[in-house]
């Protein structure tokens, strides 16, 4: 289920935040709202589009809180800049992030997509390696470009 099917208005967003133990400040409501219309965001892009604050620290601390509560997750960019994207509803929580989808980065428009339809295949490592997490990123051209 996609999260934005649940979010009809600002009030729903505030409730969603409260359910995750996050206070509904004007900025954090606006930030979560912004994630509904963007497949992924960098701190920079957020600063450009958000009205409620221009403070980098405030943005980073909100992102940190959202991630810890299982609302968003990190996606490494093509240039090693961190991007952030929504988690599926019910997928992640304060206890653990459980998604195992791949990420697609468009070389043309620089968008980053969470491709839920494509799961990360099982990887068999050589003797002695203990696997704890896997990241799989595909680069190329997205359908819109």
- Note the residues at the interface with DNA (CB under 7 A): 14, 18, 21-28, 42-44, 52-53, 55-58, 60-62, 64-65, 80-82
Pick between residue 19 and residue 137 the one whose CB is nearest to a copy of itself: 137
Residues 60/68, Cβ–Cβ less than 8 Å: no
Region class of 128: left (phi > 0), else alpha (psi between -120 and 50), else beta: left
Which of DNA, a copy of itself, Mn ion, none is residue 138 near (CB under 5 to 8 Å by kind)?
a copy of itself
Residues 63/85, Cβ–Cβ less than 8 Å: no
Which of a copy of itself, Mn ion, Zn ion, none is residue 109 near (CB under 5 to 8 Å by kind)?
Zn ion
- Kindly list the residues in this chain that would bind a copy of itself in the complex (CB under 8 A): 76, 80-82, 102, 104, 107, 115, 117-118, 121, 123-143
- Helix (H) or strand (E) holding 65, with range, is helix 56-68
CA-angle at 19, arms to 18 and 24, nearest 5°: 15
What is the distance between the alpha carbons of residues 67 and 79, in angstroms, rounded to a whole number? 21
Output phi, psi for 63, to 5 deg: -60, -40
Pick between residue 32 and residue 102 the one whose CB is nearest to a copy of itself: 102
Q: Nearest distance from residue 116's CB to Mn ion, in Å? A: 8
Q: Nearest distance from residue 101's CB to Mn ion, in Å? A: 6
Pick between residue 57 and residue 133 the one whose CB is nearest to a copy of itself: 133
Binding site for Mn ion (CB under 5 A): 85, 114
């Amino acid at each position: 289920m996609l999260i934005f099917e649940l979010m009809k208005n600002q009030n729903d967003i505030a409730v969603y935040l409260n359910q995750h133990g996050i206070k509904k400040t004007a900025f954090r409501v606006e930030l979560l709202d912004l994630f509904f219309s963007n497949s992924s965001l960098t701190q920079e892009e957020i600063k450009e589009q958000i009205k409620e604050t221009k403070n980098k620290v405030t943005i980073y601390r909100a992102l940190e809180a959202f991630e810890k509560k299982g609302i968003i997750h990190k996606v490494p960019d093509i240039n090693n800049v961190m991007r952030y994207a929504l988690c599926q509803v019910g997928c992640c929580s304060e206890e653990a992030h459980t998604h195992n989808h791949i990420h697609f980065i468009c070389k043309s428009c620089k968008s980053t997509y969470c491709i839920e339809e494509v799961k990360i295949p099982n990887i068999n490592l050589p003797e002695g390696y203990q696997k704890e997490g896997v990241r799989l990123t595909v680069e190329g051209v997205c359908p819109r470009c």
